[in-house]
Structure 1
Amino acid sequence: MSCFSILLAACLASGAPPAAAADTAHLRRDLVALTTTAQPRNYLHEASLNQAADYIKAELAAAGAQPTEQTYQVQGRTYRNIVGGFGPANGPRIVIGAHYDVCGEQPGADDNGTGVAALLEMARLLPRQPLACRIELVAYTLEEPPFFRTPQMGSYVHARSLHETSVPVRGMIALEMLGYYDDRKNSQDYPIKPLRWIYGSRGNYVTVAQKFGNGRFGRRFARVYKETAALPVKRFKAPAWLPGIDFSDHLNYWHFNYPAVLLTDTAFYRNKQYHEAADTLDRLDMRRLALAVDAVLATVVQLAAG
Protein backbone atom coordinates (compact mmCIF):
# COMPACT_ATOMS: atom_id res chain seq x y z
CA MET A 1 0.00 0.00 0.00
CA SER A 2 1.37 3.42 -0.92
CA CYS A 3 1.81 6.27 1.56
CA PHE A 4 -1.04 8.08 -0.22
CA SER A 5 -3.34 5.08 0.26
CA ILE A 6 -2.43 4.83 3.93
CA LEU A 7 -3.11 8.53 4.48
CA LEU A 8 -6.37 8.30 2.53
CA ALA A 9 -7.57 5.39 4.66
CA ALA A 10 -6.66 7.26 7.84
CA CYS A 11 -8.50 10.37 6.69
CA LEU A 12 -11.63 8.43 5.79
CA ALA A 13 -11.60 6.67 9.15
CA SER A 14 -11.31 9.97 10.99
CA GLY A 15 -13.85 11.85 8.89
CA ALA A 16 -11.16 14.21 7.60
CA PRO A 17 -11.11 15.20 3.93
CA PRO A 18 -8.93 12.91 1.81
CA ALA A 19 -5.46 14.07 0.86
CA ALA A 20 -4.29 14.74 -2.66
CA ALA A 21 -1.07 13.24 -3.96
CA ALA A 22 1.88 15.41 -4.91
CA ASP A 23 1.63 16.64 -8.49
CA THR A 24 4.71 16.13 -10.67
CA ALA A 25 3.58 18.98 -12.94
CA HIS A 26 3.62 21.36 -9.97
CA LEU A 27 7.06 20.14 -8.93
CA ARG A 28 8.44 20.56 -12.43
CA ARG A 29 6.95 24.05 -12.76
CA ASP A 30 8.59 25.13 -9.51
CA LEU A 31 11.92 23.71 -10.59
CA VAL A 32 11.75 25.51 -13.92
CA ALA A 33 11.05 28.80 -12.13
CA LEU A 34 13.97 28.31 -9.75
CA THR A 35 16.53 27.15 -12.31
CA THR A 36 15.86 29.69 -15.07
CA THR A 37 16.61 32.95 -13.27
CA ALA A 38 18.80 35.31 -15.31
CA GLN A 39 21.79 34.45 -13.12
CA PRO A 40 22.24 31.64 -10.58
CA ARG A 41 20.46 32.38 -7.31
CA ASN A 42 23.58 32.79 -5.19
CA TYR A 43 24.35 35.48 -2.63
CA LEU A 44 26.21 37.64 -5.16
CA HIS A 45 23.30 37.79 -7.61
CA GLU A 46 20.76 39.61 -5.48
CA ALA A 47 18.26 40.10 -8.30
CA SER A 48 18.06 36.37 -9.01
CA LEU A 49 17.96 35.48 -5.32
CA ASN A 50 15.12 37.98 -4.86
CA GLN A 51 13.34 36.62 -7.93
CA ALA A 52 13.38 33.16 -6.36
CA ALA A 53 12.18 34.55 -3.02
CA ASP A 54 9.34 36.44 -4.72
CA TYR A 55 8.26 33.29 -6.55
CA ILE A 56 8.26 31.27 -3.33
CA LYS A 57 6.30 33.94 -1.49
CA ALA A 58 3.70 34.14 -4.27
CA GLU A 59 3.24 30.37 -4.34
CA LEU A 60 2.87 30.19 -0.56
CA ALA A 61 0.31 32.99 -0.70
CA ALA A 62 -1.64 31.21 -3.44
CA ALA A 63 -1.76 28.12 -1.22
CA GLY A 64 -3.13 30.13 1.72
CA ALA A 65 0.02 30.04 3.85
CA GLN A 66 -0.04 33.82 4.56
CA PRO A 67 3.72 34.24 4.03
CA THR A 68 5.89 36.81 5.75
CA GLU A 69 9.49 37.85 5.24
CA GLN A 70 12.24 37.49 7.82
CA THR A 71 14.87 39.97 6.64
CA TYR A 72 18.39 40.55 7.91
CA GLN A 73 21.60 42.25 6.83
CA VAL A 74 24.87 40.63 5.79
CA GLN A 75 27.82 42.66 4.49
CA GLY A 76 25.54 45.60 3.76
CA ARG A 77 23.04 43.56 1.76
CA THR A 78 19.53 42.51 2.69
CA TYR A 79 18.60 38.83 2.57
CA ARG A 80 15.33 37.19 3.50
CA ASN A 81 13.72 33.99 4.63
CA ILE A 82 10.15 33.40 3.48
CA VAL A 83 7.91 31.98 6.21
CA GLY A 84 4.36 30.64 5.96
CA GLY A 85 2.25 28.05 7.67
CA PHE A 86 -0.96 26.24 8.45
CA GLY A 87 -2.79 25.20 11.57
CA PRO A 88 -3.17 27.00 14.93
CA ALA A 89 -1.25 30.27 15.07
CA ASN A 90 -0.12 29.69 18.64
CA GLY A 91 1.27 26.75 20.53
CA PRO A 92 3.70 24.04 19.45
CA ARG A 93 4.82 23.78 15.85
CA ILE A 94 6.67 21.55 13.44
CA VAL A 95 9.09 23.39 11.16
CA ILE A 96 9.70 22.19 7.60
CA GLY A 97 12.45 24.05 5.79
CA ALA A 98 14.47 24.15 2.58
CA HIS A 99 17.11 26.58 1.36
CA TYR A 100 16.61 28.32 -1.95
CA ASP A 101 20.09 29.69 -2.62
CA VAL A 102 22.78 27.91 -4.64
CA CYS A 103 26.53 27.53 -4.42
CA GLY A 104 28.38 29.37 -7.15
CA GLU A 105 27.45 29.62 -10.81
CA GLN A 106 25.14 26.65 -11.24
CA PRO A 107 21.36 26.13 -11.56
CA GLY A 108 20.94 24.03 -8.42
CA ALA A 109 18.10 21.82 -9.64
CA ASP A 110 18.66 19.10 -7.06
CA ASP A 111 20.56 21.36 -4.65
CA ASN A 112 18.21 22.66 -3.60
CA GLY A 113 15.48 23.28 -6.11
CA THR A 114 13.97 19.93 -5.23
CA GLY A 115 13.76 20.79 -1.55
CA VAL A 116 12.00 24.07 -2.31
CA ALA A 117 9.65 22.42 -4.81
CA ALA A 118 8.80 19.84 -2.15
CA LEU A 119 8.16 22.63 0.37
CA LEU A 120 5.81 24.43 -2.03
CA GLU A 121 3.93 21.26 -2.86
CA MET A 122 3.49 20.65 0.87
CA ALA A 123 1.92 24.11 1.06
CA ARG A 124 -0.57 23.12 -1.65
CA LEU A 125 -1.43 19.83 0.08
CA LEU A 126 -1.64 20.92 3.72
CA PRO A 127 -4.74 23.17 3.70
CA ARG A 128 -7.16 20.22 3.50
CA GLN A 129 -5.58 18.48 6.48
CA PRO A 130 -6.81 18.79 10.07
CA LEU A 131 -3.79 20.03 12.00
CA ALA A 132 -3.62 19.99 15.78
CA CYS A 133 -0.39 22.00 15.78
CA ARG A 134 1.11 24.59 13.48
CA ILE A 135 3.14 23.48 10.48
CA GLU A 136 5.61 26.27 9.73
CA LEU A 137 7.12 26.27 6.24
CA VAL A 138 10.38 28.17 5.79
CA ALA A 139 12.41 28.86 2.64
CA TYR A 140 15.89 29.82 3.82
CA THR A 141 18.47 32.04 2.24
CA LEU A 142 22.26 31.74 2.61
CA GLU A 143 22.68 28.06 3.39
CA GLU A 144 25.55 27.70 0.96
CA PRO A 145 29.20 28.78 1.29
CA PRO A 146 30.62 31.16 2.33
CA PHE A 147 27.88 31.34 4.98
CA PHE A 148 27.52 27.65 5.85
CA ARG A 149 28.11 27.04 9.57
CA THR A 150 27.85 30.75 10.37
CA PRO A 151 25.16 32.83 12.12
CA GLN A 152 24.42 34.39 8.72
CA MET A 153 22.63 31.25 7.54
CA GLY A 154 18.93 31.87 7.09
CA SER A 155 18.13 28.80 9.14
CA TYR A 156 20.27 30.08 12.01
CA VAL A 157 18.36 33.36 11.94
CA HIS A 158 15.04 31.50 11.98
CA ALA A 159 16.00 29.00 14.69
CA ARG A 160 17.39 31.80 16.88
CA SER A 161 14.16 33.78 16.49
CA LEU A 162 12.14 30.81 17.73
CA HIS A 163 14.49 30.37 20.67
CA GLU A 164 14.48 34.05 21.61
CA THR A 165 10.68 34.18 21.61
CA SER A 166 10.33 30.84 23.46
CA VAL A 167 8.22 29.27 20.72
CA PRO A 168 7.65 25.57 21.49
CA VAL A 169 9.00 23.45 18.62
CA ARG A 170 8.19 19.75 18.39
CA GLY A 171 10.80 19.25 15.72
CA MET A 172 12.26 20.38 12.41
CA ILE A 173 12.56 18.64 9.03
CA ALA A 174 15.17 19.82 6.52
CA LEU A 175 14.33 19.05 2.88
CA GLU A 176 17.69 18.85 1.12
CA MET A 177 18.13 17.37 -2.37
CA LEU A 178 15.31 14.90 -2.99
CA GLY A 179 15.26 14.36 -6.75
CA TYR A 180 18.26 12.30 -7.86
CA TYR A 181 18.09 8.49 -7.92
CA ASP A 182 20.24 5.82 -9.55
CA ASP A 183 19.25 2.14 -9.56
CA ARG A 184 22.63 0.91 -10.77
CA LYS A 185 25.03 -0.98 -8.52
CA ASN A 186 27.85 1.09 -7.04
CA SER A 187 25.98 4.35 -7.61
CA GLN A 188 25.88 5.14 -3.89
CA ASP A 189 28.82 6.26 -1.74
CA TYR A 190 29.08 6.73 2.03
CA PRO A 191 31.23 8.73 4.45
CA ILE A 192 32.62 5.41 5.73
CA LYS A 193 33.02 2.58 3.20
CA PRO A 194 31.74 -0.27 5.44
CA LEU A 195 28.32 1.43 5.49
CA ARG A 196 27.84 0.10 1.95
CA TRP A 197 27.56 -3.39 3.41
CA ILE A 198 24.66 -2.21 5.58
CA TYR A 199 22.81 0.18 3.27
CA GLY A 200 23.69 -1.21 -0.16
CA SER A 201 25.38 0.21 -3.24
CA ARG A 202 22.33 1.39 -5.19
CA GLY A 203 21.30 5.04 -4.93
CA ASN A 204 17.58 4.32 -5.14
CA TYR A 205 16.39 5.51 -1.72
CA VAL A 206 15.67 8.50 0.49
CA THR A 207 17.59 8.88 3.74
CA VAL A 208 16.27 10.12 7.07
CA ALA A 209 19.43 11.25 8.84
CA GLN A 210 19.77 12.38 12.42
CA LYS A 211 22.29 12.52 15.22
CA PHE A 212 22.36 10.38 18.34
CA GLY A 213 20.29 11.87 21.16
CA ASN A 214 17.87 13.58 18.79
CA GLY A 215 14.86 12.68 20.92
CA ARG A 216 11.41 11.25 20.37
CA PHE A 217 10.56 13.44 17.39
CA GLY A 218 13.43 12.10 15.32
CA ARG A 219 12.60 8.50 16.15
CA ARG A 220 8.93 8.96 15.33
CA PHE A 221 9.57 10.81 12.10
CA ALA A 222 11.97 8.16 10.85
CA ARG A 223 9.65 5.31 11.79
CA VAL A 224 6.47 6.80 10.32
CA TYR A 225 8.22 8.02 7.17
CA LYS A 226 9.67 4.58 6.51
CA GLU A 227 6.28 2.93 7.14
CA THR A 228 4.37 5.22 4.79
CA ALA A 229 6.81 5.91 1.95
CA ALA A 230 6.22 4.20 -1.40
CA LEU A 231 9.93 4.25 -2.19
CA PRO A 232 12.88 2.77 -0.27
CA VAL A 233 13.90 4.63 2.87
CA LYS A 234 17.11 4.21 4.87
CA ARG A 235 17.24 5.43 8.44
CA PHE A 236 20.67 6.77 9.33
CA LYS A 237 21.60 7.71 12.88
CA ALA A 238 25.15 8.73 13.69
CA PRO A 239 27.33 10.99 15.83
CA ALA A 240 27.05 14.65 14.87
CA TRP A 241 30.73 14.68 13.87
CA LEU A 242 30.28 12.15 11.06
CA PRO A 243 30.70 13.89 7.66
CA GLY A 244 27.35 14.57 6.04
CA ILE A 245 25.14 14.14 9.09
CA ASP A 246 24.83 17.90 9.64
CA PHE A 247 25.28 19.19 6.08
CA SER A 248 22.12 21.28 5.90
CA ASP A 249 19.85 23.69 7.73
CA HIS A 250 18.84 21.27 10.49
CA LEU A 251 22.21 21.81 12.16
CA ASN A 252 21.09 25.24 13.36
CA TYR A 253 18.06 23.79 15.13
CA TRP A 254 20.35 21.36 16.91
CA HIS A 255 22.36 24.41 18.00
CA PHE A 256 19.29 25.70 19.84
CA ASN A 257 18.44 22.22 21.20
CA TYR A 258 15.47 21.56 18.93
CA PRO A 259 15.12 18.02 17.57
CA ALA A 260 15.68 18.00 13.81
CA VAL A 261 16.09 15.52 10.97
CA LEU A 262 17.50 15.68 7.46
CA LEU A 263 15.54 14.18 4.57
CA THR A 264 17.77 13.78 1.52
CA ASP A 265 18.85 11.78 -1.51
CA THR A 266 22.32 11.91 0.17
CA ALA A 267 23.69 14.78 -1.97
CA PHE A 268 27.28 14.28 -3.17
CA TYR A 269 27.36 10.72 -1.88
CA ARG A 270 25.19 9.94 -4.91
CA ASN A 271 24.75 12.96 -7.16
CA LYS A 272 28.16 13.60 -8.71
CA GLN A 273 26.95 16.88 -10.23
CA TYR A 274 26.59 18.38 -6.74
CA HIS A 275 27.63 22.05 -6.91
CA GLU A 276 28.30 21.69 -10.64
CA ALA A 277 26.80 23.32 -13.72
CA ALA A 278 25.29 19.96 -14.68
CA ASP A 279 22.95 19.92 -11.65
CA THR A 280 20.03 20.35 -14.04
CA LEU A 281 16.35 19.50 -14.16
CA ASP A 282 16.69 16.83 -16.84
CA ARG A 283 18.66 14.59 -14.45
CA LEU A 284 15.90 14.45 -11.84
CA ASP A 285 13.21 11.85 -11.19
CA MET A 286 9.89 13.68 -10.76
CA ARG A 287 7.96 10.54 -9.89
CA ARG A 288 10.19 9.64 -6.96
CA LEU A 289 10.38 13.26 -5.84
CA ALA A 290 6.57 13.25 -5.67
CA LEU A 291 6.60 10.00 -3.67
CA ALA A 292 9.03 11.56 -1.21
CA VAL A 293 6.65 14.52 -0.77
CA ASP A 294 3.65 12.22 -0.28
CA ALA A 295 5.45 10.51 2.58
CA VAL A 296 6.39 13.84 4.19
CA LEU A 297 2.73 14.86 4.14
CA ALA A 298 1.53 11.57 5.61
CA THR A 299 4.19 11.68 8.31
CA VAL A 300 3.68 15.31 9.30
CA VAL A 301 -0.09 14.93 9.52
CA GLN A 302 0.38 11.99 11.88
CA LEU A 303 3.01 13.74 14.00
CA ALA A 304 0.90 16.89 14.20
CA ALA A 305 -1.89 14.85 15.75
CA GLY A 306 0.21 14.35 18.86
Structure 2
Amino acid sequence: MAKTLKDNVNVFCKDIGPRDYNNYDNLEKSKQYIISKFKSMGYNIGIQDYQIGDKTFSNIVATKDCLNKNKNSKTVIIGAHYDSTLGSADGGASGISALITLADLYKNTNAYHNVRFVAFVNGEKVFAKTDQMGSKIYADYIKQQNENIEGVIVLDSIGYYSDKPLSQRYPFMGPSMPNKANFLAIVGNSDSKALADNVTSYFNDSSWLPVKNINKDFLIGYGVKDSYSFSKNGFKTILLTDTSIYRFEDINRADDKVEDIDFSYMSEIVKNLKEYLISY
Protein backbone atom coordinates (compact mmCIF):
# COMPACT_ATOMS: atom_id res chain seq x y z
CA MET A 1 0.00 0.00 0.00
CA ALA A 2 2.85 2.39 0.76
CA LYS A 3 4.02 2.07 -2.85
CA THR A 4 0.53 2.87 -4.17
CA LEU A 5 0.31 5.93 -1.95
CA LYS A 6 3.74 7.10 -3.06
CA ASP A 7 2.91 6.51 -6.72
CA ASN A 8 -0.21 8.66 -6.39
CA VAL A 9 1.66 11.44 -4.57
CA ASN A 10 4.35 11.39 -7.26
CA VAL A 11 1.74 11.77 -10.00
CA PHE A 12 0.29 14.87 -8.38
CA CYS A 13 3.57 16.42 -7.24
CA LYS A 14 6.06 15.46 -9.95
CA ASP A 15 4.13 14.43 -13.06
CA ILE A 16 1.46 17.14 -12.81
CA GLY A 17 2.72 19.78 -10.38
CA PRO A 18 0.88 23.00 -9.43
CA ARG A 19 -2.83 22.72 -10.23
CA ASP A 20 -5.27 25.50 -9.48
CA TYR A 21 -7.08 28.43 -11.10
CA ASN A 22 -3.78 29.78 -12.44
CA ASN A 23 -2.55 26.34 -13.54
CA TYR A 24 -5.81 25.24 -15.13
CA ASP A 25 -4.40 22.72 -17.61
CA ASN A 26 -2.74 20.85 -14.74
CA LEU A 27 -5.96 21.01 -12.75
CA GLU A 28 -7.72 19.35 -15.68
CA LYS A 29 -5.00 16.69 -15.85
CA SER A 30 -5.59 15.97 -12.16
CA LYS A 31 -9.32 15.73 -12.75
CA GLN A 32 -8.87 13.22 -15.57
CA TYR A 33 -6.38 11.17 -13.52
CA ILE A 34 -8.81 10.92 -10.58
CA ILE A 35 -11.73 10.01 -12.85
CA SER A 36 -9.70 7.32 -14.61
CA LYS A 37 -8.63 5.80 -11.28
CA PHE A 38 -12.18 5.73 -9.89
CA LYS A 39 -13.54 4.26 -13.14
CA SER A 40 -10.89 1.53 -13.16
CA MET A 41 -12.10 0.53 -9.69
CA GLY A 42 -15.68 0.11 -10.91
CA TYR A 43 -17.29 3.00 -9.05
CA ASN A 44 -20.31 4.97 -10.23
CA ILE A 45 -18.87 8.36 -11.21
CA GLY A 46 -20.58 11.73 -10.89
CA ILE A 47 -19.14 15.11 -11.90
CA GLN A 48 -20.40 18.32 -10.31
CA ASP A 49 -19.37 21.19 -12.59
CA TYR A 50 -19.60 24.89 -11.82
CA GLN A 51 -18.31 28.05 -13.46
CA ILE A 52 -15.92 30.74 -12.27
CA GLY A 53 -15.53 33.26 -15.05
CA ASP A 54 -14.88 31.38 -18.29
CA LYS A 55 -13.50 28.28 -16.55
CA THR A 56 -15.27 25.12 -15.45
CA PHE A 57 -14.34 23.50 -12.15
CA SER A 58 -15.36 20.03 -11.05
CA ASN A 59 -15.96 18.01 -7.92
CA ILE A 60 -15.57 14.29 -8.63
CA VAL A 61 -17.84 11.81 -6.87
CA ALA A 62 -17.30 8.02 -6.76
CA THR A 63 -20.10 6.02 -5.14
CA LYS A 64 -20.48 2.44 -3.96
CA ASP A 65 -24.06 1.58 -3.08
CA CYS A 66 -24.88 -0.64 -0.12
CA LEU A 67 -26.31 -4.16 -0.25
CA ASN A 68 -29.90 -3.08 0.39
CA LYS A 69 -30.05 0.38 -1.13
CA ASN A 70 -33.24 2.41 -0.65
CA LYS A 71 -34.12 6.05 -0.15
CA ASN A 72 -33.44 5.77 3.59
CA SER A 73 -30.00 4.18 3.22
CA LYS A 74 -27.32 5.98 5.16
CA THR A 75 -24.31 7.45 3.35
CA VAL A 76 -20.79 8.06 4.61
CA ILE A 77 -18.69 10.61 2.69
CA ILE A 78 -14.89 10.58 2.54
CA GLY A 79 -13.38 13.66 0.91
CA ALA A 80 -10.16 15.48 0.04
CA HIS A 81 -9.23 18.41 -2.20
CA TYR A 82 -7.10 17.85 -5.30
CA ASP A 83 -5.94 21.37 -6.16
CA SER A 84 -2.54 22.64 -5.03
CA THR A 85 -1.07 26.07 -5.67
CA LEU A 86 2.56 24.93 -5.50
CA GLY A 87 2.18 21.22 -6.12
CA SER A 88 3.15 20.48 -2.53
CA ALA A 89 3.26 16.94 -1.12
CA ASP A 90 1.78 16.91 2.39
CA GLY A 91 -0.42 19.97 2.04
CA GLY A 92 -1.46 19.38 -1.56
CA ALA A 93 -1.26 15.67 -2.34
CA SER A 94 -1.36 13.48 0.77
CA GLY A 95 -5.12 13.79 1.27
CA ILE A 96 -6.20 13.13 -2.31
CA SER A 97 -3.66 10.31 -2.70
CA ALA A 98 -5.01 8.64 0.44
CA LEU A 99 -8.57 9.08 -0.85
CA ILE A 100 -7.78 7.30 -4.13
CA THR A 101 -5.88 4.53 -2.36
CA LEU A 102 -8.69 4.07 0.17
CA ALA A 103 -11.26 3.82 -2.64
CA ASP A 104 -9.14 1.12 -4.27
CA LEU A 105 -8.95 -0.86 -1.02
CA TYR A 106 -12.69 -0.52 -0.46
CA LYS A 107 -13.90 -1.31 -3.99
CA ASN A 108 -14.79 -4.98 -3.40
CA THR A 109 -16.34 -4.44 0.03
CA ASN A 110 -20.02 -5.02 0.77
CA ALA A 111 -21.65 -2.97 3.52
CA TYR A 112 -25.09 -1.91 4.71
CA HIS A 113 -24.48 1.77 4.06
CA ASN A 114 -23.44 3.76 1.00
CA VAL A 115 -19.89 5.04 0.80
CA ARG A 116 -19.04 8.06 -1.32
CA PHE A 117 -15.52 9.23 -2.16
CA VAL A 118 -15.43 12.89 -3.20
CA ALA A 119 -12.48 14.80 -4.66
CA PHE A 120 -13.03 18.53 -4.11
CA VAL A 121 -11.68 21.28 -6.32
CA ASN A 122 -10.64 24.77 -5.14
CA GLY A 123 -9.77 23.91 -1.56
CA GLU A 124 -6.73 26.17 -1.30
CA LYS A 125 -5.77 29.84 -1.22
CA VAL A 126 -8.24 32.41 -2.57
CA PHE A 127 -11.20 30.00 -2.66
CA ALA A 128 -10.88 28.70 0.90
CA LYS A 129 -13.94 29.56 3.00
CA THR A 130 -15.77 31.12 0.05
CA ASP A 131 -18.89 30.13 -1.86
CA GLN A 132 -16.62 29.03 -4.74
CA MET A 133 -14.83 26.42 -2.66
CA GLY A 134 -15.57 23.00 -4.15
CA SER A 135 -16.52 21.42 -0.84
CA LYS A 136 -18.92 24.29 -0.11
CA ILE A 137 -20.60 23.82 -3.49
CA TYR A 138 -20.99 20.12 -2.81
CA ALA A 139 -22.09 20.46 0.83
CA ASP A 140 -24.74 23.02 -0.14
CA TYR A 141 -26.02 20.68 -2.85
CA ILE A 142 -26.42 17.59 -0.70
CA LYS A 143 -28.11 19.65 2.01
CA GLN A 144 -30.70 20.80 -0.55
CA GLN A 145 -31.23 17.17 -1.58
CA ASN A 146 -31.99 16.17 2.03
CA GLU A 147 -29.72 13.17 1.72
CA ASN A 148 -29.31 10.84 4.67
CA ILE A 149 -25.65 11.63 5.38
CA GLU A 150 -24.47 9.70 8.42
CA GLY A 151 -21.05 11.35 8.59
CA VAL A 152 -18.31 13.13 6.65
CA ILE A 153 -14.59 12.40 7.01
CA VAL A 154 -12.17 14.86 5.39
CA LEU A 155 -8.51 14.03 4.75
CA ASP A 156 -6.09 16.97 4.60
CA SER A 157 -2.34 16.96 5.30
CA ILE A 158 -1.89 13.47 6.72
CA GLY A 159 1.65 12.57 5.64
CA TYR A 160 4.22 14.21 7.94
CA TYR A 161 5.36 12.48 11.16
CA SER A 162 8.35 12.60 13.49
CA ASP A 163 9.38 10.89 16.73
CA LYS A 164 11.73 13.71 17.70
CA PRO A 165 10.92 15.51 20.97
CA LEU A 166 9.42 18.99 20.48
CA SER A 167 8.66 18.26 16.82
CA GLN A 168 5.02 19.14 17.57
CA ARG A 169 4.73 22.88 17.96
CA TYR A 170 2.14 25.36 19.24
CA PRO A 171 -0.71 25.09 19.97
CA PHE A 172 -0.32 21.38 20.77
CA MET A 173 2.07 21.82 23.67
CA GLY A 174 1.45 21.35 27.35
CA PRO A 175 0.87 18.54 29.80
CA SER A 176 -2.16 17.09 27.99
CA MET A 177 -0.77 17.22 24.45
CA PRO A 178 2.03 15.21 22.81
CA ASN A 179 5.30 17.01 22.07
CA LYS A 180 6.21 14.50 19.34
CA ALA A 181 4.73 14.83 15.87
CA ASN A 182 3.87 11.14 15.64
CA PHE A 183 0.08 11.23 16.08
CA LEU A 184 -2.94 11.68 13.84
CA ALA A 185 -5.31 14.45 14.90
CA ILE A 186 -9.06 13.84 14.64
CA VAL A 187 -10.79 17.20 14.69
CA GLY A 188 -14.49 18.01 14.96
CA ASN A 189 -16.96 20.40 16.52
CA SER A 190 -19.27 19.61 19.43
CA ASP A 191 -22.05 18.36 17.12
CA SER A 192 -19.60 15.83 15.64
CA LYS A 193 -18.30 14.57 18.98
CA ALA A 194 -19.86 11.10 18.64
CA LEU A 195 -18.26 10.58 15.21
CA ALA A 196 -14.88 11.83 16.41
CA ASP A 197 -15.07 9.61 19.51
CA ASN A 198 -16.01 6.55 17.42
CA VAL A 199 -13.14 6.98 14.97
CA THR A 200 -10.70 7.70 17.80
CA SER A 201 -11.81 4.60 19.71
CA TYR A 202 -11.52 2.44 16.60
CA PHE A 203 -7.96 3.57 15.92
CA ASN A 204 -7.01 3.15 19.58
CA ASP A 205 -8.28 -0.44 19.53
CA SER A 206 -7.01 -1.46 16.09
CA SER A 207 -3.89 0.51 15.23
CA TRP A 208 -0.38 1.22 16.49
CA LEU A 209 -0.81 4.79 15.23
CA PRO A 210 -1.34 7.29 18.09
CA VAL A 211 -4.44 9.44 17.62
CA LYS A 212 -5.59 12.56 19.41
CA ASN A 213 -9.19 13.75 19.53
CA ILE A 214 -9.08 17.56 19.28
CA ASN A 215 -11.86 20.14 19.49
CA LYS A 216 -11.96 22.31 16.39
CA ASP A 217 -11.56 25.53 18.39
CA PHE A 218 -8.11 24.33 19.40
CA LEU A 219 -7.00 23.96 15.78
CA ILE A 220 -6.42 27.44 14.40
CA GLY A 221 -7.17 27.38 10.68
CA TYR A 222 -9.92 24.73 10.89
CA GLY A 223 -12.32 27.27 9.38
CA VAL A 224 -10.55 27.25 6.01
CA LYS A 225 -10.51 23.46 5.62
CA ASP A 226 -13.02 21.48 3.53
CA SER A 227 -14.45 20.00 6.72
CA TYR A 228 -15.79 23.47 7.62
CA SER A 229 -18.03 23.45 4.54
CA PHE A 230 -19.88 20.41 5.85
CA SER A 231 -19.98 21.23 9.56
CA LYS A 232 -21.37 24.67 8.68
CA ASN A 233 -24.20 22.92 6.85
CA GLY A 234 -24.98 20.81 9.91
CA PHE A 235 -23.35 17.54 8.88
CA LYS A 236 -21.44 15.46 11.42
CA THR A 237 -17.92 16.05 10.15
CA ILE A 238 -14.38 15.30 11.24
CA LEU A 239 -11.02 16.32 9.82
CA LEU A 240 -8.12 13.85 9.85
CA THR A 241 -4.83 15.74 9.76
CA ASP A 242 -1.22 15.75 10.90
CA THR A 243 -1.98 19.31 12.18
CA SER A 244 -0.39 20.98 9.16
CA ILE A 245 1.67 24.10 9.95
CA TYR A 246 1.90 23.23 13.66
CA ARG A 247 4.05 20.28 12.72
CA PHE A 248 5.59 21.00 9.34
CA GLU A 249 6.47 24.64 8.72
CA ASP A 250 7.22 24.07 5.02
CA ILE A 251 3.75 22.71 4.29
CA ASN A 252 2.16 24.23 1.17
CA ARG A 253 5.55 25.64 0.15
CA ALA A 254 8.01 24.56 -2.50
CA ASP A 255 9.96 22.67 0.19
CA ASP A 256 6.97 20.46 0.97
CA LYS A 257 8.37 17.47 -0.94
CA VAL A 258 7.49 13.82 -1.51
CA GLU A 259 10.66 12.83 0.36
CA ASP A 260 9.20 14.33 3.55
CA ILE A 261 6.15 12.06 3.54
CA ASP A 262 6.05 9.03 5.84
CA PHE A 263 4.16 6.46 3.79
CA SER A 264 4.11 3.85 6.55
CA TYR A 265 2.00 6.21 8.68
CA MET A 266 -0.23 7.03 5.73
CA SER A 267 -0.68 3.32 5.02
CA GLU A 268 -1.78 2.73 8.59
CA ILE A 269 -4.35 5.53 8.33
CA VAL A 270 -5.80 4.23 5.07
CA LYS A 271 -5.88 0.59 6.22
CA ASN A 272 -7.75 1.42 9.41
CA LEU A 273 -10.13 3.80 7.67
CA LYS A 274 -11.09 1.01 5.30
CA GLU A 275 -11.79 -1.33 8.19
CA TYR A 276 -13.68 1.39 10.03
CA LEU A 277 -15.93 1.96 7.00
CA ILE A 278 -16.77 -1.73 6.93
CA SER A 279 -17.74 -1.72 10.61
CA TYR A 280 -19.49 1.67 10.55
TM-score by structure 2 length? 0.93
2:196 maps to which residue? 218
Matched, 1:92 2:69: no
Matched, 1:136 2:116: yes
Cα distance in 2, alignment partners of residues 54 and 76 from structure 1: 19
Per-residue Cα deviation, 1:141-198 (whole angstroms, up to 9, x for no partner)? 001110111011110111111111111100100001111111111111133x6x4321
Report how far residue 231 of structure 1 moved: 1.1
Contact 1:230 1:295 in 2 (8 A): no
Contact 1:250 1:260 in 2 (8 A): yes
Cα distance in 1, alignment partners of residues 142 and 203 from structure 2: 25
Evaluate the alpha carbon distance shift between residue 38 and residue 231 of structure 1 in structure 2; reply closer, same or farther with a 3 A threshold: closer
Matched, 1:29 2:27: no
Cα distance in 2, alignment partners of residues 95 and 141 from structure 1: 16
Contact 1:27 1:117 in 2 (8 A): yes
Evaluate the alpha carbon distance shift between residue 232 and residue 160 of structure 1 in structure 2; reply closer, same or farther with a 3 A threshold: same
Matched, 1:145 2:145: no
Cα distance in 2, alignment partners of residues 238 and 97 from structure 1: 18
1:68 maps to which residue? 46
Supply the AA of the counterpart residue of 1:100: Y
1:171 maps to which residue? 151
1:288 maps to which residue? 265
Supply the AA of the counterpart residue of 1:117: S
Report how far residue 224 of structure 1 moved: 1.8
2:55 maps to which residue? 77
Contact 2:20 2:27 in 1 (8 A): yes
Matched, 1:278 2:278: no
Per-residue Cα deviation, 1:83-136 (whole angstroms, up to 9, x for no partner)? 102133652200000001113xx2221113111111111111112322111110
1:155-304 correspondence runs (5 A): 155-191=135-171, 195-239=173-217, 243-303=220-280
Evaluate the alpha carbon distance shift between residue 273 and residue 127 of structure 1 in structure 2; reply closer, same or farther with a 3 A threshold: same
* Residue aligned with 2:28, SS: helix
Contact 1:174 1:250 in 2 (8 A): yes
The number of residue pairs the alignment matches comes to: 276
Contact 2:197 2:213 in 1 (8 A): no
TM-score by structure 1 length? 0.86
Report how far residue 215 of structure 1 moved: 4.6
Matched, 1:123 2:103: yes
Unaligned runs of at least 5 residues, structure 2: none
* Residue aligned with 1:102, SS: coil
Report how far residue 208 of structure 1 moved: 0.6
Percent of matched pairs sharing the same residue = 25
Cα distance in 2, alignment partners of residues 261 and 267 from structure 1: 15
Following TM superposition, the consecutive aligned residue runs of length 4 or more in structure 1 with deviations greater than 6 angstroms are none
Contact 1:207 1:264 in 2 (8 A): yes
Report how far residue 232 of structure 1 moved: 1.0
1:21-60 correspondence runs (5 A): 23-37=1-15, 39-60=17-38
Supply the AA of the counterpart residue of 1:94: V
Evaluate the alpha carbon distance shift between residue 113 and residue 238 of structure 1 in structure 2; reply closer, same or farther with a 3 A threshold: closer
